[in-house]
Structure 1
Amino acid sequence: MAEYDPNTRRAPLRPLVPHSGSYDGAAEAGGAGFEYDEATLHSLAREWRDLANEFRNDIKNAEAIARTQGPGLDYASEQNAKLVRSSGQTLADTLQQRADYCDSMADKFAAALGKYATAEDTHATEIGDSAKGII
């Protein structure tokens, strides 16, 4: 895929952002919503879970910032450390919200996988039942 070249100021031939309802640049014709195959659902669930884990790893670093102590016992050092601790706690809280969101997205894709498997089983049973009447 051609990337944007700042020297020519030309946009890439292919859009960088896929259209809605597509994943990996492949749009499917169909009704409202998204349609994914089983492999894509597994991949998306794994990617969201991995991203949640990355946020959780970052939370540990933010919590270290939230425990910052001033370099000295003077008023300025303590006030500076207080502001740094507040920023660290805010960062940790925000990262936790991001991790929770990613976990909920992973759970949604896992639930979709369950529905996908149920639909596959139902269709296989229906096909098997209809074939019995033919033979």
Structure 2
Amino acid sequence: MPEGSPAYEPGLDLGVSGYFRPTGGTYGEPVPEGAGFTYDEVTLHELVKEWRALAQEYRNDIVDARHIAKAQPPGAEYASGDNAQLVQSSGEALIVALNQRVAYCEKMADKYVAALGKYATAEERATEDINQQSKGI
């Protein structure tokens, strides 16, 4: 394991070969005039894509969790029935937790989509300002 704490790098993808490959963008450059971070447009798009993909993975896990929530006892005796009820309760709790994770991921993706909207608005405003300046020296 490499030394130091892991750092998030957007666009890294664990491919078939098992190695991470960057797909572009820069992450979290400190904002000099105050607290927070800035992201370039490529990174914002990548973050939206990653959060949506993670939400979909959780949705896929919910399908599997439903099987757990519907577990049937292997036998007709008392112990099997109680065990199945505990497994079903665990499956139901897992579904609730996974739904919360889906909602969180979608909320994060929506925040980055909103930031993209602000980014586009700022770009349009800057373009208008430049176009309104007098031509020539």
Establish whether TM, by shorter chain, passes 0.5: yes
**Cα displacement (A) at 1:33:** 1.1
- Separation of aligned partners in 1, 2:132 and 2:120: 18
| Structure 1 letter corresponding to 2:67 | A
> Normalised by the size of structure 1, how large is the TM-score?
0.80
For the aligned residue pairs, the C-alpha RMSD in angstroms reads 2.2
**Cα displacement (A) at 1:131:** 3.4
3-state SS of paired residue (1:109): helix
Higher helix share: 1
- Separation of aligned partners in 2, 1:90 and 1:100: 16
* Correspondent of 2:102 among 96, 99, 104: 99
- Separation of aligned partners in 2, 1:80 and 1:44: 42
Q: Structure 1 residues 25, 38: CA separation in 2 closer, same or farther (over 3 Å shift)?
A: closer
Which runs of 5 or more residues in structure 2 are unaligned? 9-24
Structure showing greater radius of gyration is 1
Could you list the structure 1 runs, at least 4 aligned residues long, displaced by more than 2 angstroms after superposition. 15-19, 23-29
- Separation of aligned partners in 1, 2:29 and 2:49: 21
Which runs of 5 or more residues in structure 1 are unaligned? 5-11
> Normalised by the size of structure 2, how large is the TM-score?
0.79
